[in-house]
Structure 1
Amino acid sequence: MNMGMKKISAVLFSTALLASVAAGCGGNDKKSGETASPAASTAASASPSDPPVTLTVEVFDRGVQGQPDLNNNTWTKYVNEKFGKPNNAIVEYVSVPRSQEVDKLNVLMAANQAPDISFTYDGTLVTRYAKSNGLYTLDELLENQGQQLKSYLGEKVLSYGKYDGKQVSIPGKRTLIAWNGMFIRKDWLDSLGMPVPTNRDELYATLVAFRDKNPGDVNGVIPWATAAAGMNYTFGNLVQSFWGAMSEEEFITTTNWLKPGHKDAFKWLNKLYNEKLISPDFALDKTTKQADADVSNGKVGFYAANWDYPLLQKIRDPLLQNAPGANFVPVDTFKNYEGKYLKEVYNENGLFSFIPKSSKNAELAMKYLNWMADPEVLFFLQFGEEGLNHKLVDGIPQGIAQTGKNMQMSNLNLDYTLVVNGAELGETEKNVRTYAAALAAGDQNYEKLAIDSYKINTTDGYTSFYYGVPNEANIKYGKTLGDMNKQMIDRLVVAKPAEFDALYDKLVKEYMDAGGQAVQDENVKNYREVKAN
C-alpha cells in the first residue's frame, strides 16, 4: 500500500498514560448521560436583578516574564464586558501551572473544585474522567446552547470529544497541522559550497563536513543538536524514512518498534552518535536547555524540533546576537523507499475543554464557549483592537502588542481562546501568514522561514488513525510504555555499535511484554471493528 500518499484519520487518545484520577472524581451519583442539573440551569436563566453568577474558567500560567494578572488584563476585561454583563455573570479565571496541569487538574477534580470550564491537551485524561462519570455529557447542551459552536467546529472536530458515543468534551479546532520541522545552517552550506541535502546520504555527508571543517569556526561544533527523548528536539521524520512497505492495517496497528526498517533507523542514529555527529550528552539534556544554548550560541549546523522553533524568541534573539550571519532554513531530507517525505502531522483538534460534574453552571459554560465561536470575539481575543494592539497589512494583523496589560501570555492568546488552536482568519494561507508574522516580530526573513517550514512539514503528511474508542490496554499500560519508550531511544542511540542488535531485540521484547503486545492486539481488534462497520 502506498502509505506515503494515504492520510489516515486522526487519533484522540495519546499514548502516554498520565496520573490516575482519584476515585471521587465528579462526586455525585448522576449518570454520564445526564446534562444540566436544576442548579446548573439556574445560572443560565438568572434575571439581571439577581446577583451575578461566577463562571470559573481554567487558564494556564506559563510563567512568562512580565505577564500581567491572568485574571485582570485586556482580554479578561473584554470577556467580562462582552459576555459577562449581558449574561449577568462574572468570568473568573483559575490559573493552573502549565508544567503541572495534569497533577493539578487531578487534585481539583477529585476535590470537586475544578473550574466550570476545565481543559487539557491529553485525550486519555479526558477518557479517564468520563469513565469515572466525572463529566457532563454535552449533547443536549450543545443542541440548546451551542449552535454557533457546532457550526464553527463541525462534526469531524467534535467527534474527537466523544466517549461511548456521547459528547464529553469540546475539542478546539486546530488551524495549523504542521508538527516537527528540520533546519540547517544555509550560511555554513554556502561557505562549504554544498547544496541543501535532500536525502539521508547527502545529510550524512553534510554532517561530516560540519564536523571536520567547522565552517562557523566555533568552539565545540555540533553537526546535529538534539536532546533527551520526549523533549522538544526530535529526529524529525528520519525514522519514518526507514520504514518499509506495509499494509494499511500493519501501518496503523503495529507498534513502531516492530515496523519494518525501524531497527535500521536507530542503527543509523547510533552510527551518527558514535561518529560524533550528534550532541554528545544529549541523553542528559532533559530540559533542552543545553540544546537551546548550543543552537542560539551558533554551534549547531542542523536540528529537528517543532516546525516554528527557530522563530521562538528564546532561540531567535540570542542567535542573532551571538552569530549575526547565521541563517537557518527549513529542509526536507528524509526520503523513504517510495520517494516520499513521510511525516506525521497533527490531527484536526487541539485541546479538550470539558465541564466537570461538580459544576453548577453547565448551561452558562456552554453559552460561554458558544459565544467564543463568534468570529468577532475570536478576532479580538487573538489580535486585539486595530490601531491599538495591531495594524492590518493586506488583511494580516501585524505588530501585535506584547506589553503591559495587552501582553499575550501564550501565542495568539491560545489559553483564552479555547475553541481554536492557532490563528483563525478563515483560510490556511492567511492563518500561516498571520502566525508567522506574530512570531517573526516584523522580520521578513523569519516570516519566510515559517511559511516555507509549514509548507515543507505538511507535505506527504499523515495523521494517526482515529479508532473512535479508547484502547483500554493503553490506558492501563501507557505510562509504563511511554517511559520505556524514552529510555529505549536514549539507550539505543548511545550504545556501542557491537552491542546494538542484541540490545535492540532485548529492549523491544521487554517493551512488548510490559504491555506493548496488549496495546497492539487491541489496536488490531479496534481497527478491524471500524473497518467492518
Structure 2
Amino acid sequence: MKKMMVILPALTLLASSLAGCSSGNNNESQATSAATTTGTASAKPSGPPTTLTVEIFDRGIQGQPDLNNNTWTRYINDNFGKPNNAIVKFVPVPRSQEIDKLNVLMAANEAPDISFTYDSPTISRYSKVNGILQLDDLLAKHGKELTNYLGKTVLSYGLFNGKQMAIPAKRTSLAWGGMFIRKDWLDKLGMPIPTTKDELYNTLIAFRDKNPGGVNGVIPWGLAATGFNYNTGNLSESYWEKQTEEEFVTAPNWLKPGNKDALKFLNKLYNEKLISPDFALDKTAKQADADVTNGKVGFFSANWDYPLRQNISVPLKTNVPSANFVPVDVFKNYEGKYKKIAYNENGVNVFIPKSSKNAELAIKYLNWMSDPKVLFFLQYGLEGVNHKMVDGIPQVINQTGDNMQTSYLNLDLTLVVNGVELGDQQKNIKALAASAPGLEAVAEQSYKINTTDTYTGYFFDTPSESNIKFGKTLGDMNKQMTDKLIVCKPAEFDALYDKLVAEYMAAGGQAVMDENLKIYKAMQANKK
C-alpha cells in the first residue's frame, strides 16, 4: 500500500512554525563569510545585472521583515546574485490565495521565473496547456548538484507524460497527522491511555461526565470545520475494509467499504455531545485553538507536532500549568494495524513558466541552493546569532526584524527541501524535536507513532483532465458533506449519506474515478 491515494473526508492542513524574539541585523559580513558559491559561473558575467524573480509566500505574519530585504535575502543576493551578475527579486504571493494569484500571474505571462505550488493538479493543468517549461535539458546542463541531491525518486514526482515539468522539493519529515490526549485528565480519572476505538469512546464519555479539568463547557474531542486542523485523524482508515490496490487508489473515499460506518460513528459522538458543539462554524480553527489553550479539550487530532508548537504549548501552560498532552494511536483496522497517511517523499512543486526569459539562471539558482552549506545557512543562519548548538543539534534562536523567519526554517526560501536538512535522518528528527523545548521526548514519540503503519498518496504520472476540471468542486463538496453528516440527526444519516454521495459522483466524482482507473491501468501496463 506504499503508493495509495486518499482524499480524506477530514483533511489536515500544513501549518508553519514561526520565529519571534530579538537580535540585531548587522551580520551581512559574517553571513557572506559563511557562504558558498557552488553552482555559480566560473567567470563573472558582465553587463547590466539580470533580475531573477522568485515567488515567496506572504504569510501576513505580524512584524515580518521586508520580504526583499532581510538577513536571508541579502545572503542570497550576496552569494548567488553577485557572482552571477544577477539580482534575485522575490515576488510575494498571499499564502491563502496562492492558487488564485498564481493563475492570474500565469494568464498574464507575469509569473516569477521560479514559481511553486503544493497543488499537483495545478502543475498538471499548466503542463497540459503547455504553460511551463520542460526541464530535462536544463537539469542535465546546469543541475548536477540539484539532481544528485534530490535523487531519482523525488524527481519522479515532477514527471508528466515522461517529461520533467516540475522540480519537487525533498520532504525530510514524512509524518502528517497525529492524535493527542490529556494525560493529566486520565491520571485524575485513574484511566489508562486508550489504544482502541472502544477505549477512546469510554474515555470521551468519562471526560464529558466527570469533567476532570473542572472547566466550563468541557469538550471531550476538539474539532473544527473540515479542511482545517482539529480533524478526525485516521478514524476512516480504521473502518475501511479490504480492497485491491486498483480499487483503493482509483475510487473516492466515499465509496470505500466501511467509510459510511466511520462517519456514522462521528455522528453518534456529536449527538452524544462528545465533539465540539459548533465545530462546523469554526472555519479558521481559531475557536478550537482557544478551547485547547484554555484547557477545555481532552482529545484532538491535528498535525503530528501541533500541541508542541509555541503558539499552543506556551498559552496552554500559562493557563493550565498541569496540562499534559501526549500522543496516542487508537484507530486499529481489520489487519490490527493503525493505518494512517504520511507524506510522499516530495514536497512543494517548483516550476519555470513558459514566459520566463531566465530559465538557465533559474536552474543555476536551485542548483546553488542544493549545496549543504547554503541550505544550512538558510535554515539556521549563524551560530550564536540565529541558532545555538545543543548536543550537536542546531536550535533556532527565535527573533524579530531582519533575522525573523516567516516560515518554519525558511521553507518558503529553501525551495529544494521541505523540512530540516542536516544530512542525516536521525539528526533531522532530533532537530524537529528540539523545536519544542521541554517536550523533546513527546515530539520524538509522536513522530515515531505517525510514521508507523503508514501509506502514501498514489502518484498519477499523467494529467487527469477530469480532476483538473472537477477537483476544486469535489474538494469543497468533501468538506461540506463531512460536516453535514456529522451534525445531522441519527435517524437521517443513512438517507443523507446516500444522497450526498450520489450528488458527489454526479458532480464529477464518477468522471474522476473513471479517468483514475484508465491512467492507473496504463501505468501498470507500462511496468510490464
Map 1:92-103 onto structure 2 (within 5 A): 92-103=89-100
1:157 to 2:154 alignment: yes
1:530 to 514, 523, 527: 523
Query: Which residue does 2:51 correspond to in 1?
Result: 54
Q: Which moves more between the two structures, 473-482 or 263-272?
A: 473-482
- Is 1:11–1:466's contact at 8 Å kept on the other side of the alignment? no
- Which segments of 5 or more consecutive residues in structure 1 lack a partner in the other structure? 1-5, 17-42
RMSD over equivalenced CA pairs, Å: 1.8
Residue 351 of structure 1 aligns to a residue in which SS? Answer: strand
Alpha carbons of structure 1 residues 114 and 434: separation in structure 2 relative to 1, 3 Å: same
CA contact (8 A) 1:44 1:361 kept: no
Taking only the aligned residue pairs, the percentage that are identical comes to: 70
How far residue 109 of structure 1 moved from its aligned partner, in angstroms, is 1.2
1:501 aligns with 2:503: no
Deviation digits for residues 385-430 of structure 1, max 9, x if unmatched? 1222112222210243423211111010000100000000122221
TM-score by length of 2: 0.91
Picking from 463, 467, 477, the partner of 2:470 is: 477
Partners in 2 of 1:252 and 1:449 — Cα distance?
33
Give the match's secondary structure for 1:96: strand
Deviations 1:338-387 (A, max 9, x none): 11000011111111111111111110010000000000000000001122
What is the CA–CA distance in structure 1 between the aligned matches of 2:492 and 2:245, rounded to whole Å?
A: 33
User: Which structure 2 residues correspond to residues 338-349 of structure 1 after superposition, within 5 A?
Assistant: 338-349=335-346
Aligned mates of 1:93, 1:475 — CA distance in 2: 28
User: What residue identity is the alignment partner of 1:481?
Assistant: L
Pairwise CA distance, 1:168 = 1.2
The 5-angstrom pairing of residues 438-517 of structure 1 reads 438=435, 440=436, 443-444=437-438, 446-517=439-510
Q: Does residue 272 of the first structure (1) align with residue 269 of the second (2)? A: yes
Q: Is the 8 A contact 2:175 2:304 kept in 1?
A: yes
Q: Could you tell me how far apart the structure 2 residues matched to 1:248 and 1:11 are?
A: 12
CA distance in 2, matches of 1:113, 1:450: 42
Q: 1-side partners of 2:365 and 2:291: how far apart?
A: 44
Structure 2 residue runs of 5 or longer lacking an equivalent are: 12-39
1:111 to 2:108 alignment: yes
Alpha-carbon distance, 1:45 to partner: 10
Q: Secondary structure at the match of 2:179?
A: strand
Matched residue SS, 2:412: helix
Q: How far is 1:198 from its partner?
A: 0.1
Whether 1:7 aligns to 2:2 is: yes
Q: Give the match for residue 35 of structure 1.
A: none
Residues 219 and 296, structure 2, Cα contact 8 Å, conserved in 1: yes
In the alignment, is residue 306 of structure 1 matched against residue 306 of structure 2?
no
Q: 1:299 to 1:452 in 2, by over 3 A?
A: same
Q: Secondary structure at the match of 2:364?
A: helix
Question: CA deviation digits over 1:300-333, x for unaligned, max 9?
Answer: 0000011111122221221111111100001001
Q: How does 1:364-383 map to 2 (within 5 A)?
A: 364-383=361-380
1:159 to 1:177, Cα distance in 2 relative to 1, 3 A: same
* Match runs of 1:124-203 below 5 Å: 124-203=121-200
CA contact (8 A) 2:128 2:463 kept: no
Q: What SS does the corresponding residue of 1:523 show, helix, strand or coil?
A: helix
Give me the whole-angstrom Cα distance separating, in 2, the residues matched to 1:46 and 1:377. 20
Structure 2 partner of 1:434: 431
Distance 1:72 1:248 in 2: 50
Q: Is the 8 A contact 1:186 1:329 kept in 2?
A: yes
Structure 1: distance between partners of 2:350 and 2:6:
17
1: CA distance between counterparts of 2:240 and 2:158? 31
- AA partner of residue 180 (structure 1): G
Report the secondary structure of 1:416's partner residue.
Answer: coil
- Structure 1 residue 462 displacement after superposition: 0.1
Q: Does residue 335 of structure 1 match 2:332?
A: yes
Question: One-letter code of the match for 1:405?
Answer: D
Matches of 1:247 and 1:161 in 2, distance apart? 26
Alpha carbons 2:139, 2:147 under 8 Å: kept: yes
Equivalent of 2:68 in 60, 66, 71: 71
Structure 1 stretch displaced more, 383-392 or 406-415 = 383-392
CA distance in 2, matches of 1:390, 1:481: 44
Deviates more, 1:154-163 or 1:139-148: 154-163
Amino acid at match of 2:272: E
Please say which of residues 478-487 and 396-405 is displaced more in the overlay: 396-405
- What is the aligned counterpart of 1:285 among 268, 282, 286? 282
The number of equivalent residue pairs is 496
Letter matched to residue 7 of structure 1: K
- Give the secondary structure class of the aligned counterpart of 1:415: coil
Q: Is residue 246–residue 517 contact of structure 2 (8 Å, CA) maintained in 1?
A: yes
Q: CA deviation at 1:527?
A: 1.6
Greater alpha carbon shift after TM alignment, 251-260 vs 302-311: 251-260
Post-superposition offset of 1:199: 0.5
- Aligned mates of 1:9, 1:244 — CA distance in 2: 15
For residues 396 and 361 of structure 2, what CA distance do their matches in structure 1 show?
34
Q: State the 1:44 CA deviation.
A: 7.9
Cα distance in 2 for residues equivalent to 1:526 and 1:399:
44
Distance in 1 between residues matched to 2:91 and 2:500, nearest whole Å: 43
